[in-house]
Structure 1
Amino acid sequence: MTSLTPKPSQIESWDRLPSDWHNDERMDALFAFFKDRDLNPVHYDAKMKFWSETIINYCEDHGLLQIDIPTIVSRFRRKGKTSKCLDKIFEELIKQNRLISTSDYTYSQQSSWVSWTFNKLASPLTSWMSTKTPIDQEVFIIKELVDKKAQQVIETLQSNVYVPTFDCVISFSSFIDICRRCALFDENSINLIISALIRDKKILIDYIGDTKNVKVVKFVAPGTSNVRPITEIENSVLLLRHSKERLEEQLKKSDQQIEGLLTDIRRHLKNSNRTAAMKLLRKKKILEREHDKKESTVEHLNTVLTQIEQTDCSSLVINAYSSGVQAHKELLRKNGLTPDAVEDMIDEVHDMLDTQNELDEALSRPVVNDTTDMTELETELEELLNQPIPPTVTTPVPSNKEIITTSITDEAIKTPEQDPFADLELRLQKLGVQESTPHKVADIASSSH
């Protein structure tokens, strides 16, 4: 059986080569047959994960969307040794639905692309379509990589769109170039991507021109979910671009022919063969006139295409303005914003402010209910002002004797315990008795007893 990729690449040059690849002891264990999982489940799962992820990553980096065991065996040789456990790895990947046989993948697709694409895809693989094909002879498709690469191709195509009306249609050869830029190198992988994109309605393939001899690919425009049929405007623009490209190719050939004639003319002149040089010179002049005409036509086509693109851009601007106006109107309508509504709202605001001012004024008034007549108060105040002012009573200044008596009295009040008759003596002094003897005091005291 012939492998899908008969030219094996050097695994050592792979950027994502696992670090364990250079560990002899580790790789001897990984290259050996699988043992029963019950004996060592940790080692079994680690080995399964190593090979599964390594194979998928390698296929992704090298643009391989379909693989078989012989291809992987040839790619992953190490020091003359090959892995003895790949059949077990493939069985596990099939159980996980990460690998799908070519026949199963074919039957799962829509008939819209099977009719034309898979005939080309499966033509070299018809011997593998039997369901009884041994696993080491079956070709498997890595569905997760097909979907991932298909999305990458669409994103690359959409990144080159500047005018959606025209730029979403390209020649089939340009589409193949985009696929190769996405690391899709073999024809089978490219056909798988085409099939997946047609199935998901992301691209369509058609022919344009009077004789339908120009193969083009239209892809889904940015911001949309499905591709639409080619319109008359797109068809016209495509024909203009195709004509311009053909003229540019002819101009390149004319330049090469003119350069060749100049070389021959110089050679004939060097050999003194003026007749041959003159004949070639006339031919050169004819080619130059044709070259100038084609060059002028190319410039005219560029001008037309530029004007069409400008018209489309102007249309986009007008549509954007229209959408903005409609959105603004809808927003005003939804929120009930009209000139009359705004005027009514302003009037309500003024009324509310007037009401608030009245409330503030009412709240500033005193709460106590004072019923006093202000006229009576004014009359009484006037009478008080007209009454005569009473004379001021002056306090007489005490004499020295009184000051002494007062001081004595104060002293006696302060110290009654020292002299029991001090209070009596003070009273006699106040009654007018000027002199008092101890005998009199004693008599008064005895009489009091």
Structure 2
Amino acid sequence: MEDSEMRSYLPGEWGDPERMQVLMGPLPHRELNHVAHTARVTFWSAAIHSWCRAALRPFFTLAECQGAFRRGSQIPVCLPQVLQLMMRQGEIVPMNQLNFTDHKQETWVGWGCRVLVVQPAHMLWGNAVLQEMCGRVVETVWDKRSSHTLLITLKDLHSLVREAVGTLENLELVVKTLVAQGRAATVLHHGTLYVKFASPGDAARPEVLPEELAKSDLREARKRVERSLKALEEEREALRCQAKIALSRGAKTEALFLLRRKKRVDKSVVTQLGVLENLVSWQHHLDDVETNRQVLGALKGGVEALRTALAGDTSPDAAATTLDDLQQVLEECEDLNALVSSNPVAEDLTGLEDELEGLLLAAGEETRMTGEAELEPRLPDVPTEPPLPTSAVPAPRLSL
């Protein structure tokens, strides 16, 4: 392992040769030197946990642990004893004690691997590291997945949480742990392992429903059909272009052959489009089934709530009171429905719009009449008395 990779988990004392010379030695007896014994165990326990977190190792072997802390040609001599003490304290657990497989369903190959390979290798499991991985996997799934069912294949799940678990082998151990804790469920369907996670805060063990598997099959089939359609579209366009080029060269026979191939591709496209339409229709049907199941669950919850409300007092008066309350609620709902169906607001708005239109027309007519009146010249009134003679008119006086 390179130094750049080792710096991510090695303790600060690693750069002190004299200190590391002491820590790499044998573990002192606890009765003889209690302080040195405790300090040595504390140092290596923290170093092992740091290594497991940095390298994403929920399980390891003694040889792998010694190789991770090799210092030149020197390996920690006290590591076997330290790991034994960590097992006694429950920090790590022997792998053979964490058997998640049902022996009744175990194959001969699995039995041979478990008995002849896993147990003799004394593989160890970092309990704290694995629990942290489980928590990160669940959080990542709920953050990045929008589906409420959270049914996902193991391969897609690894692509989703690769940064949290590292290898696929680590993810398999995480999933087995979550299943054992009741936080996930797995099912093998058509050779593919599916994983379903429990909802946050739900203490019930999740159950994979047949409808969910059917929806997953439809999604996979739809993806395959869409990929096939895309390839057929590209092939059809390529054949059209090749036929056009052949015609430009005067090769009519070749162009006719290419057009015949294009016609067969067109028929395949029509067939695939029909299949895709059927798949989409079935997906809608399954969505309706899920919606109906949710509505039915809500109704069942209402019935249980009603039973709980009636459980305290089963007298005829209590039942009558409850029925009266329900009838009142139903009447209010009917009133609201009638109010919405009659839509009095729309009628009022219609009347107001008619009245407003009439006012606008009247105002326009009045304005027009006023404007015409202002444009007409105003003549003086006709005199009723005869005009005076010129001599009778007094001459104006002038003042200097």
Q: TM class, shorter-chain normalised? A: 0.5 to 0.7
Please give the per-residue CA displacement for 1:240-283, whole angstroms capped at 9, x wherever unaligned.
23322332343354456557757877887898766545534543
Contact 1:68 1:140 in 2 (8 A): yes
Cα gap change, 1:287 to 1:314, in 2 (>3 Å): same
Picking from 113, 116, 121, the partner of 1:123 is 113
Q: What does residue 312 of structure 1 align with?
A: 290
What SS does structure 2 have at the residue aligned with 1:182?
helix
Residue correspondence of structure 1 range 203-282 to structure 2 within 5 A: 203-207=185-189, 213-222=190-199, 223-228=202-207, 230-254=208-232, 257=235, 275-276=253-254, 278-282=256-260
> CA 1:264–1:146 in structure 2 vs 1: closer, same or farther (change >3 Å)?
farther
Q: Point out the more displaced range, 81-90 or 13-22.
A: 13-22
Following superposition, the deviation at residue 71 of structure 1 comes to 1.1
CA distance in 2: counterparts of 1:286 and 1:21, whole angstroms: 71
Mapped partners of 2:238, 2:40: distance in 1: 64
Q: Distance in 1 between matches of 2:107 and 2:53?
A: 22
Cα 1:299–1:61, aligned 2, differ >3 Å: closer, same or farther? farther
The one-letter code sitting in structure 1 at the alignment partner of 2:26 is F
Specify the SS of the correspondent of 2:165.
coil
Task: Give 1:323's aligned residue.
Answer: 301
SS at match of 2:70: coil
Which digits, 9 at most, give the CA deviation of each residue in 1:208-227, with x for residues without a partner? Answer: xxxxx342425353224223
Contact 1:10 1:75 in 2 (8 A): no
Over 3 Å counting, the alpha-carbon distance change for 1:19 and 1:276 in structure 2 is farther
Structure number with greater Rg is: 1
Output the CA distance in 1 between the equivalents of 2:106 and 2:23.
42
* Aligned residue type for 1:141: W
Aligned to 1:196: 177
How many Å apart are 1:21 and its aligned residue? 3.3
2:298 is paired with a residue whose SS is helix
Cα displacement (A) at 1:81: 4.5
| Deviation string, structure 1 residues 173-219 (Cα, Å, up to 9, x no partner) | 334445635314053x3443344344445323232xxxxx3424253
CA deviation vs aligned residue, 1:300-334 (integer Å, no higher than 9, x gap): 52354245325523542464366347536744774
- The residue aligned with 2:68 is 75
Asked if the contact 2:93/2:124 (under 8 Å) is kept, the reply is yes
Letter in 1 for 2:96: S
d(CA) in 2 for partners of 1:32, 1:310: 68
Quote the residue 2:123 is aligned against: 139
Q: Which amino acid aligns with 1:227?
A: P
Measured after TM superposition, the shift of residue 67 of structure 1 is 1.0
Q: Which amino acid aligns with 1:97?
A: G
Structure-1 separation of matches of 2:279 and 2:231: 19
Q: What is the distance in 1 between the residues matched to 2:237 and 2:19?
A: 64
Partner residue in 2 for 1:169: 151
Which letter maps to 1:279?
Answer: F
Counterparts of 2:83 and 2:163 in 1: how far apart (Å)? 29
Q: TM-score, normalised by structure 2?
A: 0.61
2:226 is matched by which residue type in structure 1? E
| 1:395-441 residue CA offsets vs partner (Å, 9 max, x unmatched) | xxxxxxxxxxxxxxxxxxxxxxxxxxxxxxxxxxxxxxxxxxxxxxx
Q: Which has the higher contact order (CA 8 A, sep 6+)?
A: 1
SS at match of 2:187: strand
In structure 1, stretches of 5+ residues that fail to align are 1-7, 131-136, 208-212, 344-449
User: Counterparts of 1:122 and 1:60 in 2: how far apart (Å)?
Assistant: 30
Q: Residue 85 and residue 118 in structure 1: after superposition, are their counterparts in 2 closer, same or farther (change >3 A)?
A: farther
Taking the aligned partners of 2:2 and 2:287, their CA distance within structure 1 comes to 46
The Cα of 1:19 is off from its aligned counterpart by 3.3
Contact 2:158/2:168 (<8 A) preserved: no
Residue 341 (structure 2) aligns with: none
Task: Please name the residue that 2:337 is paired with.
Answer: none
Q: Does 1:60 align with 2:53?
A: yes
Distance in structure 2 (CA, Å) of the matches to 1:114 and 1:157 = 31
What SS does the corresponding residue of 1:129 show, helix, strand or coil? helix
Moved more, 332-341 or 22-31: 332-341
| Contact in 1 for aligned 2:154/2:195 (Cα 8 Å) | no
The answer to whether structure 1 residue 149 and structure 2 residue 133 are counterparts is yes
Q: Show the counterpart of 2:35.
A: 42
What amino acid is aligned across from residue 125 of structure 2 in structure 1? I
C-alpha change, 1:267 and 1:26, in structure 2 (3 Å) is farther
Counterpart CA distance in 1 for 2:191 and 2:6 is 41
TM-score of the aligned structures, taking structure 1 as reference length: 0.55
Match of 2:102 in 1: 112
Is 61-70 or 291-300 further displaced after alignment?
Answer: 291-300
